[in-house]
Amino acid sequence: MIDFHSHFLPAIDDGSDCLNTSLSMLRESREQGVDLIFATPHFYADMDDPESFLARRDQAFSQLKLAMAEDGGDFPQILLGAEILYFPGMSVAEELYEMRMGQSPLLLIEPPMLPWSETMLDEIEQTGKNLRCIPVIAHVDRYARMLRDDTVFDKAFDRHFLVQVNANFFIHADSSKLALQYLSEERIHFIGSDCHDMDRRAPNMGPASVLIAEAGLEEQHIRLDSRLLDFLSEYT
C-alpha cells in the first residue's frame, strides 16, 4: 500500500518533531501495511526559498536514513516530494519542478483554506503546463470539510485535476459513503494519511484500507497503487 502524503521527516515543518517520532510514525505505517510512503513537507513560498527548503529536506532525510539503519527495524520505502502551498505566481516559479513526487512529474499542490477562486485554479492549471508537471490537488476532502463546501470536489473534477484525499475521508462516518462512492467512480487518484505525529494526526492508512476492503473496493485501491507504481517506473 502507498501513502501519498505525510509529514514524517524530522523537524522540518509542523509534522514530526524529532527523529524518534519519525521512526515511530514509519514503524506504525509499516505495521498498517504501508510499503511506500512519500515525504511531503510543507513548502511556503512566502517564508522559504526553494533552494534552502530542498537543502533542509535532504538533510532531514539523511539524518532519518542513518537513524533507520541504526534502528534496524522494518520501515516502508521512502520517496521525497513536497506539499506546495498555492501562491500567485507559482506558474512561473520553475524551481518548483525540483519538488515533484519522486522522479515523477506529479506536483502536490495545497490550495489555501479559503474558498477556491477560478484565478487560483487557472494558475494551478498553468503551473502544470509551464513546468511540464502534473498538478495533484492535496486533500480535497479537507476543504470540503473545513470550508463546508462539497463543490470543491466538482471544481477539481471539472478541470480534470488529479485528486488526493486523506485517509480520514474514508474513516470519518459523515464522509465515508461519499469517499467510497468517489473511489468506485475512479475520481480519486491518490490516498494519503497526511500524518503529522503519533497523536492526533497519526498514521492511519490501515484503518482506511480496511474500510475500503469491507466495502468491496479493495481492487480499486490496489489499482490506484499499481497505476502510481507504473507511473513512477516510467520516470526512473
Q: Binding residues for Fe ion, per CB under 5 A?
A: 83, 194
Nearer to Fe ion, 3 or 194 (CB): 194
C-alpha cell at 55: 537543502
Instruction: Measure the CA–CA gap between 225 and 222, rounded to whole angstroms.
Output: 5
The least CB distance from residue 83 to Fe ion, in Å, is 5
Give the distance from CA 232 to its chain's centroid.
15
CB neighbour list of residue 178: distance below 8 Å, 6 or more residues apart: 150, 169
Nearer to Fe ion, 92 or 114 (CB): 114
Nearer to Fe ion, 139 or 155 (CB): 139
The least CB distance from residue 44 to Fe ion, in Å, is 12
Q: In a 10 Å sphere around its CB, with 0-12 CB exposed, 13-18 middle and 19+ buried, how is residue 88 labelled?
A: exposed
The least CB distance from residue 7 to Fe ion, in Å, is 6
Q: Which residue in the shown chain puts its C-beta closest to Fe ion?
A: 194
The least CB distance from residue 221 to Fe ion, in Å, is 20
Nearer to Fe ion, 82 or 212 (CB): 82
Could you identify the residue written with the cell 485501491? 221
The least CB distance from residue 31 to Fe ion, in Å, is 21
Q: Among residues 32, 45, 37, 46, which one has the least CA distance to residue 15?
A: 37
- The dihedral built from the CA positions of residue 188, 193, 144 and 107, taken in this order, carries a sign that is negative
User: Contact 38/79 with Cβ under 8 angstroms?
Assistant: yes
Nearer to Fe ion, 28 or 83 (CB): 83
